[in-house]
């Protein structure tokens, strides 16, 4: 089952990600709903109770808040409160992130808010292959899973994100939840000389970090978290201990974010290995993403900003 706002066969999602599914599976399995997020999210409780596995979509991350009551009060707690008798198996797809002047109601990032909810899992792929693998893992998981999908990575619409079009490795490819990936390696020589650093990131941040690493001559390792909860802490700790310098990079407004919390955990677990304070870089602390393109670029991290911060970090 796939249902939500405009996902039916007439449109197949505002980003066309479900363009062929309505014709292939019919209106009984792929259909539109009203613009009513509380219903979209809450209906998965009944669907799951009947043995179905719904995949639902809220059209933009900024629209998710009316559905939070159901997500927090019912979906996240059901398995725990029923001692495992009534787990709610559902996948909630949420296009997220800023690009192209989407403005204050179509550009928000909500991962930090979601990650305060105990009892759900949160994934954030950076390319199509990972999205497919994580989607299958989320569907097979008995727990509720929220899948955040950056709008600028659909069709690689943002320059520099062509690698987001990675084909699936196999038709039965499943990417286990909680497994990050090293996507750029630093040279052993720079690591041995203490002249390297690691960037821990996800989503669009992967492409900012990869572009920055290309300018810094094999001195930067990049880790793509892929799953925000459960987190691949072993991979993160190993990478930070290898370099002694770390930047946690996010698109979200930085203050009180998941990235800042992760920075604290890295500092605590890796303190004896650090050669510099753990750095965190996110968007400016504005109430919303501006619609003006110049203002949007000023708010968000960019490749030049990431390069400058890494040069500062490498200077320790």
Question: Among all chains, which residue has been given the structure tokens 């990675």?
Answer: 166
- Helix/strand/coil for 76: coil
Bridge partner residues of 202 (DSSP): none
How far from 146 is each of 3, 234, 273, CA to CA, in Å?
A: 15, 22, 34
Say which of 106, 150, 190, 243 is annotated catalytic.
106
Tell me how many helices (H) and strands (E) the chain has.
Answer: 12, 12
Is 247 within 8 Å of 197 (Cβ atoms)?
A: yes
Catalytic status, residue 150: no
Q: In what order do the strands lie in the sheet with 246-253?
A: 181-184, 220-224, 197-201, 246-253, 279-283
250/204 Cα distance (integer angstroms): 8
Closest residue by Cα to residue 162 from 151, 171, 149, 153: 153
Locus of tokens 């403005």: 103
Point out the residues that are catalytic. 106
């Amino acid at each position: 089952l796939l249902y939500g706002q405009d996902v039916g066969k007439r449109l197949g999602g505002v980003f066309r990600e479900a363009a062929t599914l309505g014709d292939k599976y019919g209106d009984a399995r792929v259909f539109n709903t009203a613009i009513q997020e509380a219903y979209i999210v809450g209906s998965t409780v009944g669907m799951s109770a009947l043995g179905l596995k719904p995949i639902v979509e809220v059209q933009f991350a900024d629209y998710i808040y009316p559905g939070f009551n159901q997500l927090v009060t019912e979906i996240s707690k059901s398995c725990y409160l029923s001692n495992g008798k009534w787990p709610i198996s559902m996948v909630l797809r949420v296009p997220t992130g800023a690009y192209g002047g989407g403005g204050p109601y179509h550009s928000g990032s909500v991962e930090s808010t979601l990650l305060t909810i105990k009892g759900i899992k949160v994934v954030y792929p950076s390319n199509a292959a990972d999205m497919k693998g994580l989607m299958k893992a989320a569907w097979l998981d008995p727990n509720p899973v929220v899948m955040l999908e950056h709008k600028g990575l659909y069709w690689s619409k943002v320059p520099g994100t062509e690698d987001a079009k990675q084909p699936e490795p196999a038709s039965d490819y499943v990417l286990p939840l909680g497994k990050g990936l090293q996507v750029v390696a630093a040279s052993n020589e720079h690591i041995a000389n203490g002249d390297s650093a690691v960037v821990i990131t996800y989503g669009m941040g992967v492409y900012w970090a990869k572009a920055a690493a290309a300018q810094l001559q094999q001195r930067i390792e990049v880790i793509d978290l892929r799953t925000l909860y459960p987190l691949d802490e072993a991979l993160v700790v190993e990478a930070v201990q290898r370099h002694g310098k770390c930047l946690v990079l996010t698109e979200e407004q930085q203050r009180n974010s998941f990235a800042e919390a992760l920075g604290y955990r890295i500092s605590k677990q890796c303190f004896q290995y650090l050669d510099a304070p753990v750095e965190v870089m996110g968007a400016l602390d504005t109430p919303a993403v501006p619609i003006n393109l110049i203002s949007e670029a000023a708010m968000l991290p960019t490749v030049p900003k990431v390069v400058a911060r890494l040069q500062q970090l490498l200077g320790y």
